[in-house]
Amino acid sequence: MKIYIIAGEASGDLHASNLMKAILKDAPDTEFRYWGGDRMSAIQGEPVKHISDLAFMGFVEVLMNLRTILGNLDYCKKDILAFKPDRLVLVDYPGFNLRIAEFAKSKGINVHYYISPQIWAWKQKRGFKIKRFVDEMYCILPFEKEFYKKFDMEVHYVGHPLLDAIEDYKSNSPDRASFLNEHQLEDKPILALLPGSRKQEIKIKLPIMLEAAKKYDQMQVIVAGAPNLPSSFYLEIAGTQPMTWISNKTYDILLHSQAAMVTSGTATLETALFNIPQVVCYKGSNASYQIAKRLIKVPYISLVNLIMDKPCVKELIQGELTAKNIQAEMDALVVESNEKRIQMLEDYKNLAQKLGGGGASAKTAALILKD
């Protein structure tokens, strides 16, 4: 079988790589062609386009890079036709992938969508487009199956792939001593800073996180670096402020951390599944934020709070994201016996239960391969 996969971001690269692994377990002769990253290339082949060239954040940034995006769309369509896949598997990345779904459907290609676009948050009318152009939808959040019923669409709820990814990681993870030794770190509690994977968001949020972290001199502050960005990029942002930077080892850092400052997105859920108390941070360009504020239809920006339908973790958004406000929340979270920390960890247990029993990749692979 020939399968064409499109993943445009780091989280998509992770989940698509695990899906590829599961497909190969059931169908070893499967040939993949894909847009993705290093995790996918570790499974088979090399990406047509790498995620480092695909991620554009916010409305204004998308407009500034519109020519590149349109060029990528045109190239992708031609490449799909040349490959002649039996299945097209789209992984999240809706701005790009929904356009590709429409094109592929018009060419008679079987379209599968893994990890539903978050249309329940905004642009809900996209549900009608998904019904027309997607043959099979695989949802990973428990409330999405009910959401799609308003479009008279039956979708598959497969559970969240992060449960498997994190459990798989933990079974092969370094112990604390090995981790500290490998990176020449002190044996002190770790405060993790996860400023995101895109240049634009890191430039905005990392300086605020670093300023807030100055207060916790009893802890070791570690910045989780994106794999596609060099240390010089982070060092330039930090300036004279001392900073420990570790690239492409976010899970290692989280596993051994005491608490974390986390940019909104998938990382908030990952942090919760590692049982690390967190403060959620979001700040974009003012224009992008003003547009988003008028369009987004959900009460929270973090997946943790959305899934639990309550404010389990503190969200500091736009003007509220200041070093002082981060510290006001973090003061409680770095203390083992603090009630706020204990309650957050209890909420995390309930969160994991809501996300199902694991096996998302295997379930999705079986459905994709089904005749």
Task: Give the mean model confidence (pLDDT) for residues 327-355.
Answer: 95
Q: Check pLDDT > 70 for residue 287.
A: no
Report which of residues 64 and 10 the model is more confident about: 10
Predicted local confidence at residue 29, as pLDDT: 97
Contact indicator for 222, 244 with CB cutoff of 8 Å = yes
Q: Check pLDDT > 70 for residue 289.
A: no
Kindly provide the b/e burial profile for residues 66-91, where b requires at least 16 CB atoms within 10 angstroms of the residue's own CB: eeebeebeeebeeebeebebebbbbb
- For all residues of the chain together, what is the average pLDDT? 90
161-187, pLDDT tens digit by residue? 999 889 889 988 989 999 999 999 999
State the pLDDT confidence band at 356, using cuts at 50, 70 and 90. confident
Domains of the chain in sequence order: 2-160+357-369 (3.40.50.2000), 172-354 (3.40.50.2000)
64-76, pLDDT tens digit by residue? 556 677 888 999 9
Q: Assign residue 265 a region: left if phi > 0, alpha if psi is -120 to 50, beta otherwise?
A: left
12-60, pLDDT tens digit by residue? 998 999 999 999 999 999 999 999 999 999 999 999 999 877 665 555 4
Report which of residues 143 and 366 the model is more confident about: 366
Query: What does the alpha-carbon distance between residue 218 and residue 203 come to, in Å, rounded to a whole number?
Result: 26
Tell me the percentage of the chain whose pLDDT exceeds 90.
72
Q: Check pLDDT > 60 for residue 297.
A: no
Predicted local confidence at residue 227, as pLDDT: 81
pTM of the model: 0.79
Residue 243: how many other CB atoms lie within 10 Å: 18
